[in-house]
Amino acid sequence: MTRSGTDPEIAPGDDETAAIESFRDALESVERPIVTASDVATHLAVSQSTANDLLERLVAADEVSRVDVGNDPVVFYARRWADSTRRERVVPFPDRHEIVVDHPDQFTRAQLSQFARLDTTNGNAGYVYEVRREDVWAAPHDSFSRLRSTVREVLGGEEPTFEEWMESQWNRARQFTLRTHEDGYTVLEAESDSLMGNVAREELGDEHLHAPIDDDTSWVVEGAEAEIKRLLYDTGYPVRDERDLDEGDDLDVSIHLELRPYQRDWVDRFLDAGSGVLVGPAGSGKTVAALGVVAALELETLVLVPSRELAGQWHEELLRHTDLAPADVGEYHGGTKDVRPVTIATYQIASMDRHRGLFDSRRWGLIVYDEAHQVPAPVNRLTTDLQGRHRLGLTASPVREDDLERDIYTLIGPPIGTDWDALFEAGFVEEPAVEIRYVPWRDEAAKSEYGDASRHRQRQLAATNPAKIDAVRDALAERPDANALVFVEYLDQGDALAEALDVPFISGETPHAERASLFQAFRRGDLETLIVSRVGDEGIDLPNAELGIVASGLGGSRRQGTQRAGRTMRPSGNAEVVVLATQGSREEDFALQQMHHLASKGVPVTERTLAD
């Protein structure tokens, strides 16, 4: 409604809630996170003086901050809403393809997850969802009208600009299709001869397409399907893969577990799409959901994993949670080579030419890619040529420093995920507290050596700062009853910590049998502390880890930071991650960079400088 300067909603004596609502209405109207007094006056149809009074009241109440930008008008932005109002509020920003939501309920989150991705949260009540073209392409709807209905339900009405852009993206995802010709070879079909000539033929070469069959259909070079999908995806045209691949041999299997609601949603969305990548935090039960997919399809399955330890864990999970007999499950890697109706193999083995014939000869109905962010690597991507009717990827973080995360979805399938913050709130996954601790140098001599060293040497010196030994000991002493993992990058540092703390150190040099025995002792509670190198970053299931201490490795990827913190993300316990960064070194920036992804997911990240 139109308001005046005497409107009781913004009268000087009124409560702060009405004033905040007025301010929020002004933010929504200008579609910016900041406003001027003139913006507020125009939106509320009040005088400049009345608008200034309103804003000054909110500044005095610590609800709004003001910034004087010199000769430009003073701008105002919101500080917090949680103490002022608890109602859900959805504000779309069509030009930025973003939706800002305060206090979203579970239903709203579920609806948003169908066409948007949680980008950031302020850790309090505000959430920023990004609608990417990839999210629209992969939306689990059979028509755009159904997707539009979901969008309108979330936004509370029509949003023409948003809807027009989403419809254009929806249509782009339905312009090219790979099909099996009646003579058995693969063809690429376009929705028009213009698309085939101006897009496909421009982007693809003779190594991808033979001569055209007709104006909108081309014969595909055998083995070029994955590259065609990647190249057209990069151009903005995802390809539907409707080839008549072998269904795979039947497998009689059922699961003993009751899936959580979001896990059931993952399974249903995968079955609708036929392929996809489950994206969720460690501890959210992606493996259990994958078992649900295996039971739903009832087809022979190949599971690809990065390590023998993870192969063993999959073997145990399959026998524990399904009615498969031991004779139905095999492992194929450097330790054993046993192909069964359900086979777990390492990426390394499955990529080797001398083993590929064996895997190709089996009629796999499902191929599971665990730690799917590894698939785009040059060697691992060879496994995507293996024939399987359905492809399922699992990853906690698809982020790659080489920007090849898009290849995960072109090689396997579209992302299928759940709002991390919703899992924290519902209690399915423990929300860890992360603290970055800045550790001083041991002495001036160590600090000087760092200053005189090369860039590479500086990284090593900061990572292995001897003062971190006491910092690790202090962190462990603060949680004497916690099961703790200490992560290191350098073997010498791992050995030094193991000697100082009198605890085992597991690295890539540790024999597999000894490694498995130590991990099992940690799971049983016989060992309270383990020091691990990168072998602990991915896939190892240590559900009783309550404390993670990152002693070094901050020069690694954002994904690595997420994985290490993820070792403590489980449904129960008091999870905590302590990140040690040498004060005055580049580790300070690396620590913030690694933890930014977690912070954007709603995980609280704090900082503290340790005393000299």
pLDDT of residue 7: 41
pLDDT of residue 564: 45
Q: What is the pLDDT of residues 419-470, one digit of tens each?
A: 666 666 666 666 677 888 999 998 888 888 988 888 888 888 999 999 999 9
CATH number of 261-419: 3.40.50.300
Residue whose C-alpha is closest to residue 227's, from 197, 203, 195? 203
Angle between helices 308-321 and 512-524 (to 10 degrees): 50
Question: Strands 576-582 and 433-439: what pairing?
Answer: parallel
Let me know if domain 8-78 sits in CATH 3.40.190.10. Answer: no
How far apart are alpha carbons 221 and 208 in whole angstroms? 5
pLDDT of residue 524: 84
Task: Quickly tell me which residue has 């066409």 as its tokens.
Answer: 115
Angle between helices 455-463 and 444-452 (to 10 degrees): 150
Q: Enumerate the β-bridge partners of residue 98.
A: 93, 130
Which amino acid makes up residue 536? G
pLDDT of residue 46: 82
CB 190 within 8 A of CB 199: yes
Residues constituting the chain: 612
pLDDT of residue 473: 95
How far apart are alpha carbons 31 and 133 in whole angstroms? 21
Residue whose C-alpha is closest to residue 507's, from 498, 499, 419, 123? 498
pLDDT of residue 476: 94
Name the 3-class secondary structure at 536: helix
Sequence-separated contacts (24+) of 146-150 with Cβ below 8 Å: 147/114, 147/115, 150/111, 150/114, 150/115
Question: Strands 75-78 and 64-67: what pairing?
Answer: antiparallel
How far apart are alpha carbons 524 and 530 in whole angstroms? 13
CB 345 within 8 A of CB 302: yes
61, exposed or middle or buried, with CB in 10 Å at 0-12, 13-18, 19+?
middle
pLDDT of residue 135: 85
How far apart are alpha carbons 608 and 524 in whole angstroms? 33
Q: How far is CA 152 from CA 146, 265, 310, 345, in A?
A: 10, 21, 43, 45
pLDDT of residue 557: 44
**pTM for this model (two decimals):** 0.58
pLDDT of residue 437: 92
| Residue ranges of the chain with per-residue pLDDT less than 50 | 1-14, 81-85, 399-403, 539, 556-572
DSSP state of 531: E
111, exposed or middle or buried, with CB in 10 Å at 0-12, 13-18, 19+?
middle
CB 176 within 8 A of CB 140: no
Element (H, E) at 102: strand 98-102
- The domain limits of the chain are 8-78, 89-172, 176-237, 261-419, 430-609
How far apart are alpha carbons 517 and 491 in whole angstroms? 20
Element (H, E) at 112: helix 106-112
For 430-609, CATH number out of 3.40.50.300, 3.20.20.70, 2.30.40.10, 3.60.130.10 equals 3.40.50.300
Q: What is the pLDDT of residues 514-546, one digit of tens each?
A: 888 888 888 888 899 999 887 655 545 565 678
CB atoms within 10 A of CB 125: 19
* Phi and psi at residue 448, to the nearest 5°: -65, -40
Question: Strands 75-78 and 34-36: what pairing?
Answer: antiparallel
Q: Same CATH fold, 261-419 and 8-78?
A: no
